[in-house]
Structure 1
């Protein structure tokens, strides 16, 4: 069977200040999870960053859009809390990649998109926004004075029309603090190895984690992201195409020490909020991740003040929440959006997606 993804009509790349600040808008949804993963597991953070760098560039060039490349949050979260050891995380990533590639090629995601209904998809966007806001608060509580200072900088620059520049300023200050705390890093090139943390191991936890992740990925990373591409960039990219590219990413990256990755509406909204309009943002961010991989084995990244990233996550969460509510007009659809968002925050995005689909189907039948 020959696998393919549809070639977008416009693949222009730009390398401007807006593309750079937009690229950093995506990194604030990625770096906190990766730092936590590197600090709590034996996963090689340099190898993980290489995977992110390579596929940021690959999909940015291919799609010509600042498409997000993010960790699969359910699987990474289970790994961080110790439920999913490294070998089982790798197995879950390969399983998820295989499923996403298959359903994308068979056109099943697009069919699901037509069944689910737009309010449910918007609700998934809201759920992700609320989760990002929750993470932002947790990160900010790590150092409230630093968070307050960061918010002041972002707010001041936004008031004078330089919201994108606030990313560079705030992250630059955080970098200075990290270097002052840990010292200048010594660059080290990550070694090329197949399954550097050991061969994958399929377990009940890996299977459960994969099912939970697929519910989130299909709702947020495929369907909601496809919708957001149209909302923000006026580009029609099918959910099946996004599912295929996510499957390729996981199957190619995980064997070489990468972690399960997906696209995501949160990262796409973050890039847009901070100015990115083309795939050039992905190229710039990918180069940045590859450079960071050279020093990630040291203590500098771990010393970066997480409260700074929490401040920037607030901006991303607000942009995504706005995108979730803005096109919704009638009260019934608003109720579905809000309900899916709250359930996603309280329980799980996958559960919210499934329940929202059932509720939307019932409401649709009542209208007939």
Structure 2
């Protein structure tokens, strides 16, 4: 059985080996970011994992599809590199959730995408990728041999065709090292509380981060994911429905200690590539996250090798940068992506997003107006 917004369908859930491997295909970018976030901020990682576990299951059952439930990478990336505190991250997630719920219910997602312009969204992705690479270098400097060893493992496994699995292998090796240093953790159930890691702080930085994230979310997590549902699964799921479900997720999870979450075309494609065909993959992955939550806090997390996190962030950053550049159709768009990306990296992601959106519309109307290529209304 499965459900989608607007109407119910008769898709069965499966719990096979391919659904399990497909579920793991979605976790390779989630777990490294969450571990890095837990090691660099005051977030409660057990509460975060519970949030991911619950909503993987909820949306897998609701849609009947292996939809991805991922961190909002722009916001988490900014938190990991220190541009946002956890309190500001929570505030930004609530703001983003409220906007996504409103625009989804009002059917405005398509209009927002046309106003922003895809090259600007890709530029924000590139800026976050560059920030993550900078953080990866900072984390790796303390233990170069560990970092080099981790990169060698990733490179070797990638060469033999296990690039995605290499991230889980490196994460597993880091976990073994942490357990060896701190001992086997005692399972502890996360405490049920409102904002267990601190109240949200609605600062200017939180608003700027929200603006930057919404550009990525509208383009990648809503519109691109809706298109992929049709391309890969022959299912019609509207971008506005996905926006609504992301808004519900953020507004429900963050007050209970979660982080900003979204759907994502990359995670959906990853699940499909590794064999997932039904919402059963979400149920399996959700159970895995819930099982991991009780042992994800305390001394083990503190003992996790920072250089290993650096390696994992390199992989995440390169994948994010690759996705940003691969989606560019022409050189003019690539110039916009590069300009927004470099400006966001060197200065401020939110400002780069706003200025890039304005500049993209001006350039589109002047340079591309005659041919219509790149016009925001055509995206």
In 1: Cα distance, 2:72 partner to 2:329 partner: 32
Give the 3 Å change call, closer, same or farther, for CA 81–274 of structure 1 in structure 2.
Answer: same
In 2: Cα distance, 1:149 partner to 1:79 partner: 23
Give the 3 Å change call, closer, same or farther, for CA 346–163 of structure 1 in structure 2.
Answer: same
In 2: Cα distance, 1:310 partner to 1:186 partner: 27
Give the 3 Å change call, closer, same or farther, for CA 197–128 of structure 1 in structure 2.
Answer: closer
> What is aligned with 2:33?
29
In 1: Cα distance, 2:13 partner to 2:243 partner: 22
| Structure 2 alignment gaps of length 5 or more | 370-379
| Range that drifts further, 228-237 or 154-163 | 228-237
In 2: Cα distance, 1:19 partner to 1:237 partner: 20
> What is aligned with 2:22?
19
The yes-or-no answer on 1:211 pairing with 2:229 is no
1:15·1:281 contact (CA, 8 Å) conserved in 2?
no
> What is aligned with 2:107?
107
In 2: Cα distance, 1:182 partner to 1:331 partner: 51
Give the 3 Å change call, closer, same or farther, for CA 135–192 of structure 1 in structure 2.
Answer: same
1:15·1:280 contact (CA, 8 Å) conserved in 2?
no
1:122·1:324 contact (CA, 8 Å) conserved in 2?
yes
> What is aligned with 2:138?
138
> What is aligned with 2:377?
none
Give the 3 Å change call, closer, same or farther, for CA 135–336 of structure 1 in structure 2.
Answer: same
In 2: Cα distance, 1:333 partner to 1:175 partner: 41
| Structure 2 counterparts to residues 37-48 of structure 1, below 5 A | 37=41, 41=42, 43-48=43-48
Q: Equivalent of 1:220, from 216, 224, 227?
A: 216
| Structure 2 counterparts to residues 73-112 of structure 1, below 5 A | 74=75, 77=78, 86=87, 93-112=93-112
> What is aligned with 1:152?
152
Give the 3 Å change call, closer, same or farther, for CA 95–215 of structure 1 in structure 2.
Answer: closer
> What is aligned with 2:225?
229
| Range that drifts further, 68-77 or 125-134 | 68-77
Give the 3 Å change call, closer, same or farther, for CA 178–159 of structure 1 in structure 2.
Answer: same
In the alignment of these two chains, the number of paired residues is 355
> What is aligned with 2:374?
none
Q: Deviations over 1:32-70 (max 9, x none)?
A: 013322xxx3x5432232112212332344442351421
Give the 3 Å change call, closer, same or farther, for CA 83–301 of structure 1 in structure 2.
Answer: closer
In 2: Cα distance, 1:93 partner to 1:119 partner: 23
Q: Deviations over 1:82-107 (max 9, x none)?
A: 97575x76555434422321122112
| Structure 2 counterparts to residues 148-297 of structure 1, below 5 A | 148-196=148-196, 200=199, 206-226=202-222, 228-229=224-225, 234=231, 238-263=238-263, 268=267, 271=270, 275=274, 282-297=282-297
2:55·2:69 contact (CA, 8 Å) conserved in 1?
no
| Range that drifts further, 274-283 or 209-218 | 274-283
| CA-CA distance at 1:185 after TM superposition | 0.8
Give the 3 Å change call, closer, same or farther, for CA 57–216 of structure 1 in structure 2.
Answer: farther
| CA-CA distance at 1:80 after TM superposition | 8.8
In 2: Cα distance, 1:52 partner to 1:240 partner: 21
In 1: Cα distance, 2:62 partner to 2:163 partner: 28
Give the 3 Å change call, closer, same or farther, for CA 229–191 of structure 1 in structure 2.
Answer: same
Q: Secondary structure at the match of 1:252?
A: helix
| CA-CA distance at 1:254 after TM superposition | 2.5
In 1: Cα distance, 2:327 partner to 2:44 partner: 42
> What is aligned with 2:71?
70
| CA-CA distance at 1:181 after TM superposition | 0.4
| CA-CA distance at 1:280 after TM superposition | 5.1
| Range that drifts further, 225-234 or 295-304 | 225-234
Give the 3 Å change call, closer, same or farther, for CA 90–335 of structure 1 in structure 2.
Answer: closer
Give the 3 Å change call, closer, same or farther, for CA 118–6 of structure 1 in structure 2.
Answer: farther
In 2: Cα distance, 1:76 partner to 1:325 partner: 18
